[in-house]
């Protein structure tokens, strides 16, 4: 990676951003469809099948409906904060895709501190949720925002600890280098060396992306819709897309750190990466349609009493072994 900023590298990043936007948009549609089909499969019903063959156009119809709807702002909501929130929720996520190595050739921006970049920009999400809840002048929204902040801040710590364990082990923050340090076979992946870190990372990622059973900021049976209670149309659509984009990022990072990235037993390439990411995404969906929601104090207890001490112990053990 050349440190000087040339026209080529800027062009490369811009192209990568466009590519990422397309990737996220298409995946949003795909994942909405997949989520509903998975839910249907788990609940012994067909899921969407009216719009297009096997309901494949259902997500497109949903998207068109959301785009076509009027944007409504509650009377006493703060216009600036209210409209800033969905934008802030969605656009920083695109940046998160830049350093992710889909394959050696298919990397937006192979930066040395890729992991740091992702962790830094991922923090934007909680700001967006806070603004949405606070700005919409709704009590359910406010409660949702308060939950979102407490949850995101808490779960970022074990997430970081799990990531640090891998960074210590590999001695780098570059995502490509971390993949490079792993082999093709499953027992050569980091998950074989660091199963505890993987567990902590995945649970924390569920918490960070507000997915069930940790979907407390939008717990619909308690807070109607939590932080996005007042959003409709594309305001809601942006949050929705951001949630799926965040899921993809979390699963991608998980794949890079623990599952050997683009490497597989044969024919290394982006398909291995995508297969692993979609596998993790399906696991997340499977959790959502299986488990009840935890209570807020239990959520924080799980974090402070279990994930955090385990993360610290794991990190210490890793550092100790590395020193040997």
Q: Does 290 bind other proteins (CB under 8 A)?
A: yes
Peptide bond into 213 cis (omega under 30): yes
Cβ neighbours around 101 below 10 Å, total? 26
User: For the stretch 178-204, what's the b/e string if a residue is b when 16 or more beta carbons lie within 10 angstroms of its beta carbon?
Assistant: bbebbeeeeeebbbebbeebbbbbbbb
Window contacting other proteins (CB under 8 A); options: 116-124, 237-245, 294-302, 304-312: 294-302
Between 44 and 323, name the residue whose CB sits nearer to other proteins: 44
**Are 199 and 159 a contacting pair, CB within 8 Å?**
no
Q: Does 91 bind other proteins (CB under 8 A)?
A: no
**Are 21 and 241 a contacting pair, CB within 8 Å?**
no
Q: Does 73 bind other proteins (CB under 8 A)?
A: no
From candidates 212, 238, 241, 248, binder to other proteins by CB under 8 A: 212
Site string for other proteins, 123-162 (x = CB under 8 A): ----------------xx--x-------------------
Rounded least distance, CB 123 to other proteins, Å: 24
Cβ neighbours around 131 below 10 Å, total? 23
Between 208 and 218, name the residue whose CB sits nearer to other proteins: 218
From candidates 62, 156, 170, 215, binder to other proteins by CB under 8 A: 215
From candidates 201, 236, 272, 296, binder to other proteins by CB under 8 A: 296
Between 170 and 218, name the residue whose CB sits nearer to other proteins: 218
CA angle 211, 126, 63 (to 5 degrees): 60
What sign has the CA pseudo-torsion 295, 300, 306, 310? positive
Site residues (vs other proteins, CB under 8 A): 39, 42-45, 139-140, 143, 212-213, 215, 219-224, 288-298
């Amino acid at each position: 990676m050349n440190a000087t900023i040339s026209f080529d590298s800027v062009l490369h990043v811009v192209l990568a951003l466009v590519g990422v936007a397309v990737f996220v948009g298409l995946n949003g549609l795909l994942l909405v469809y997949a989520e509903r089909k998975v839910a249907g499969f788990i609940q012994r019903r067909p899921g969407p099948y009216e719009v297009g063959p096997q309901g494949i156009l259902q997500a497109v119809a949903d998207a068109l409906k959301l785009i076509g709807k009027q944007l409504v702002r509650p009377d006493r909501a703060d216009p600036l904060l209210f409209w800033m929130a969905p934008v802030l929720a969605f656009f920083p996520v695109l940046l998160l895709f830049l350093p992710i190595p889909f394959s050696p050739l298919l990397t937006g921006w192979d930066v040395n501190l890729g992991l740091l970049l992702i962790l830094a920009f991922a923090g934007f999400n909680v700001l967006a949720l806070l603004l949405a809840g606070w700005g919409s002048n709704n009590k359910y929204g406010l409660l949702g925002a308060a939950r979102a902040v407490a949850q995101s801040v808490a779960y970022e710590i074990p997430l970081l600890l799990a990531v640090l364990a891998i960074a210590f082990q590999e001695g780098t923050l570059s995502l490509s280098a971390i993949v490079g340090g792993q082999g093709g076979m499953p027992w050569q992946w980091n998950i074989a060396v660091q199963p505890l870190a993987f567990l902590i990372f995945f649970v924390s990622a569920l918490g960070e992306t507000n997915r069930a059973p940790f979907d407390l900021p939008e717990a619909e049976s308690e807070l109607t819709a939590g932080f996005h209670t007042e959003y409709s149309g594309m305001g809601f659509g942006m949050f929705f897309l951001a949630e799926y984009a965040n899921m993809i990022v979390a699963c991608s990072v998980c794949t890079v750190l623990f599952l050997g990235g683009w490497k597989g037993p044969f024919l290394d390439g982006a398909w291995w990466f995508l297969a692993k990411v979609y596998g993790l995404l399906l696991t997340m969906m499977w959790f959502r349609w299986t488990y009840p929601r935890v209570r807020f104090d239990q959520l924080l207890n799980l974090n402070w009493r279990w994930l955090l001490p385990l993360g610290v112990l794991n990190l210490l053990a890793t550092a100790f072994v590395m020193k040997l």
